[in-house]
Each structure stands twice: as structure tokens, then as C-alpha cells.
């Protein structure tokens, strides 16, 4: 109970001391803070045992998702696994603070797939202390490692000398959030962006795929094409929550974790944001992800159960037709039956939709 209280006090201090607003435009971030945040992000000495950095699970080569396209990423100790796929960090960092939309009856925003963190600053400590991830025993242990890091003098030169672990970690949280909101993480350099600026043109298949995306495929109902109010750019998500009927991943290593970690074994069911809000009407719902870089961030969905983008599109198209290709939902509750499941796309239209989604990959080169 004492450790829990200390952790809660730490979280409150992170939120109150934090030196930035989550809605800061990425183009106005001081470069020295980005550089510090990048150093922290790639620091593999911050785990227990050392060897795992933030970048170990969120690699730049894969749009800051798992570098090896693992369904579930192994923890720092080499044997522990959580229950979820490591999502791409790119563009999701623009998610607003979580709130409830009474009109659409859905939560909006928050950080992580279940929205459990209110801000980027508060988010960073979760993987640091999670025994299934970076496995540090306390916030003080993380602070001690930061003090021994090569970039510590640079950090204090920018932020000042901290007089407590809490203040030091608020500096770390701020720097990490600055890096995550930088153009290096969110470059907006896809073919879609260049076409939008009139610099390139789509192929016929890509153009038809965009039309399917907006109309017959119903994708744009959640992966919206409106410009974000803070960046002015299309983020391809409305940051809402949905249960789309994803099947369980039978090979999820979390099922075989010790009972101290997963007492339910193979009977474990991920409730998503419902577990956070304690509201059954939201069980099984996860935050709608950005589709930017979707072609290189497999596997897909919260449990990494789908290996290819082609498979995902086909699932959206025929989920409700009982073709025998897909198992039933991991949680058959609150499933979205309105915007997917029987889209009546032809095989050619599925392919064209995939071709359009491939235009959302950053660092496009002809």
C-alpha cells in the first residue's frame, strides 16, 4: 500500500510539474529538449537488467513500433511478456486528454490503447516500472539511472538542477514528450502528404482505393480525413474507442505467463478501456489507431493477431459472413456491427484499398 501511495503521488507530481502542454505544436519544440528526449528514448541502461530502451519496442525503422514485428514484445528480463502488441508511437502522440463524448457515447483520447494515461508526461513511467517491460523497482531507481547517464549534465543545463526525484523525472517526462512530438517521430512525409500538397499524383489503384476508403469501405468514419486542429494535418484517427470483434491471439505468450502475472491463464480476456473506466458498456474497446505507416507496423490490433494488412482488410470486409476464415471475437460484447463486417468489397477493391493505405508510409521515395 505504501508503494502504491508513493507511485500515485509521483504520478500527480509528473502531471503538475510537467513543463509542457500536450497540445504543443510539434514545429515549435526547442531542439535541445528534443535532443535530450531522444537520448533518453534510446538509452538502454534505463531497464532492469540493462539492455532495453524505449526504442527496443518502438523502432524508428518501423514507425516506432516493434522492430521485429513481434505480436507481443518480450520484456527486459528476456522471459516476461505483456498481453498487448507494441503500437506505433508516431502520430498517436497527438491524442487529446481523455474525455467522454456524450453525443457519440464514446471516450476520446488518452495515451495507450486503453487510454489509461492522461498525458505524454504521465505515460512514460508506466513501461519503466512495469515488471513485464523495463522492470525497474521504483521511480527512484529510474531517477538514479538518469543521474548517472551521459546526458545528465545536458539535461540539467536546459532544465536546471532538480531538488527531488520527482522533479528530475518531470524533466525526463517533458523531454521524452518533446521528442515524441518532434518531426523526427511525426514527419508527415508520406505519398499521401505529397499528393495532398500537389507534388505527386496517385496511381489509378491508389486513387480508387481512396474513394473506397471514404465511401464503400467506411474507413473514414473512424479514420477521419479532417485536418487535426493542432497540427492541421490528417491523422487518420478520431481517437475514439471501438470493439471491432478481433479474435483472440491463440499464440499470445501472455497466456503462459506465471499465475502471479496472469492468474486466468488462457481464460484471460482483455477488456480494453472498460477495465480502466470500470464500465461494462466499454468492455473490449480499444483506441482507434492512426493508419499512418500502417503498411509497416504489423502485426495488427491490440493482441497482434493479424499478420498482414491484406488479412486485416479482408477481415473488415467479411467478418460477419461466417466464411470460416476468422474465429469469433475475443470479447463478444459491444462489437461494432455498423461500420464493418459485411462491406461487400470485391477482391480488386480490397487490393485497391490496400494500395491506398500503402501511400500512408512516411519517408516516401519514388
Query: For 77-96, what is each residue's pLDDT tens digit?
Result: 999 999 999 999 999 889 99
- Report the run of H or E that residue 287 belongs to, with start and end: strand 286-287
Return the bridge partners of 124, or none: none
Return the bridge partners of 241, or none: 287
Domains of the chain with CATH codes: 2-109+117-180 (1.10.760.10), 191-360 (1.10.760.10)
Nearest to 192 by CA among 235, 229, 221: 235
As a whole number of angstroms, the distance between CA 338 and CA 342 comes to 9
Residue 215 contacts by C-beta under 8 Å, 6 or more apart in sequence? Answer: none
Q: What is the DSSP string of 180-223?
A: HTSTTT----SHHHHHHTTS----HHHHHHHHHHHTTT-GGGTS
Q: What percentage of the chain carries pLDDT values higher than 70? A: 92
Residue 69, pLDDT > 50, answer yes
CB 264 within 8 A of CB 318: no
- Given this model, what pLDDT does residue 20 score? 40
Helix (H, G, I), strand (E, B) or coil at 81: strand
Written as nine digits, the cell of 34 is 528534443
Query: Which pLDDT band holds residue 118 (cuts at 50, 70, 90)?
Result: confident
- Mean pLDDT (the chain) is 92
Summarised one tens digit per residue, pLDDT across range 168-195 is: 999 999 999 999 999 999 999 999 999 9
- What single DSSP character describes residue 327? P
Query: Which pLDDT band holds residue 229 (cuts at 50, 70, 90)?
Result: confident
- The dihedral built from the CA positions of residue 36, 37, 41 and 42, taken in this order, carries a sign that is negative
Can you count the helices (H) and strands (E) in the chain? 13, 4
- Given this model, what pLDDT does residue 121 score? 82
- Given this model, what pLDDT does residue 22 score? 45
Residue 30 contacts by C-beta under 8 Å, 6 or more apart in sequence? Answer: 158, 178
Alpha-carbon distances, residue 329 vs 26, 132, 284 (angstroms)? 38, 26, 9
CB 300 within 8 A of CB 310: no
Residue 135 contacts by C-beta under 8 Å, 6 or more apart in sequence? Answer: 47, 48, 49, 75, 76, 77, 80
Query: Exposure of 197 by Cβ count < 10 A (0-12 exposed, 13-18 middle, 19+ buried)?
Result: exposed
Return the bridge partners of 65, or none: 59
- Helix residue ranges, H only, 1-108: 2-17, 31-41, 54-57
Give the predicted TM-score (pTM) of the model: 0.91
Residue 154 contacts by C-beta under 8 Å, 6 or more apart in sequence? Answer: 32, 35, 36, 39
CB 301 within 8 A of CB 242: no
Written as nine digits, the cell of 234 is 490528417
As a whole number of angstroms, the distance between CA 44 and CA 47 comes to 6
Backbone angles phi, psi at 108, to 5 degrees: -130, 135
Amino acid at each position: 500500500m505504501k508503494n502504491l501511495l508513493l507511485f500515485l503521488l509521483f504520478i500527480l507530481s509528473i502531471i503538475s510539474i510537467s513543463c509542457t502542454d500536450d497540445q504543443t505544436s510539434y514545429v515549435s519544440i526547442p531542439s535541445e529538449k528534443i535532443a535530450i528526449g531522444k537520448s533518453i528514448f534510446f538509452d538502454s541502461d534505463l531497464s532492469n537488467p540493462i539492455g532495453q530502451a524505449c526504442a527496443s519496442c518502438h523502432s524508428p525503422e518501423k514507425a516506432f513500433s516493434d522492430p521485429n514485428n513481434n505480436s507481443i514484445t518480450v520484456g527486459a528480463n528476456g522471459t516476461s511478456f505483456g498481453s498487448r502488441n507494441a503500437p506505433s508511437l508516431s502520430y498517436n502522440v497527438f491524442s487529446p486528454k481523455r474525455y467522454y463524448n456524450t453525443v457519440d457515447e464514446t471516450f476520446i483520447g488518452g495515451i495507450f490503447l486503453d487510454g489509461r494515461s492522461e498525458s505524454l508526461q504521465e505515460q512514460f513511467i508506466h513501461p519503466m516500472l512495469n515488471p513485464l517491460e523495463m522492470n525497474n523497482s521504483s521511480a527512484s531507481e529510474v531517477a538514479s539511472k538518469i543521474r548517472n547517464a551521459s546526458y545528465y549534465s545536458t539535461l540539467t543545463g536546459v532544465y536546471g538542477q532538480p531538488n527531488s526525484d520527482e522533479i528530475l523525472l518531470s524533466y525526463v517526462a517533458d523531454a521524452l514528450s518533446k521528442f515524441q512530438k518532434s518531426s523526427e517521430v511525426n514527419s508527415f512525409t508520406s505519398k499521401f502528404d505529397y499528393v495532398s500538397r500537389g507534388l505527386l499524383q496517385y496511381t489509378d489503384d491508389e486513387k480508387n482505393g481512396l474513394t473506397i476508403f471514404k465511401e464503400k469501405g467506411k474507413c473514414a468514419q473512424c479514420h477521419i480525413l479532417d485536418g487535426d486542429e493542432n497540427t492541421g494535418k490528417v491523422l487518420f484517427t478520431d481517437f475514439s474507442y471501438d470493439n471491432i470483434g478481433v479474435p483472440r491471439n491463440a499464440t499470445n505468450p501472455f497466456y503462459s505467463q506465471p499465475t502471479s502475472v496472469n492468474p486466468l491463464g488462457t481464460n484471460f480476456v482483455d477488456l480494453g478501456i472498460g477495465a480502466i473506466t470500470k464500465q461494462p458498456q466499454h468492455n473490449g474497446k480499444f483506441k482507434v489507431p492512426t493508419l499512418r505507416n500502417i503498411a509497416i507496423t504489423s502485426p495488427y490490433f491490440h493482441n497482434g493477431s493479424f499478420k498482414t494488412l491484406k488479412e486485416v482488410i479482408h477481415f473488415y470486409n467479411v467478418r460477419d459472413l461466417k466464411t470460416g476464415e476468422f474465429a469469433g471475437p475475443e470479447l463478444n460484447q459491444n462489437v461494432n456491427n455498423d461500420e464493418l463486417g459485411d462491406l461487400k468489397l470485391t477482391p480488386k477493391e480490397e487490393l485497391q484499398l490496400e494500395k491506398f493505405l500503402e501511400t500512408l508510409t512516411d519517408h516516401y521515395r519514388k
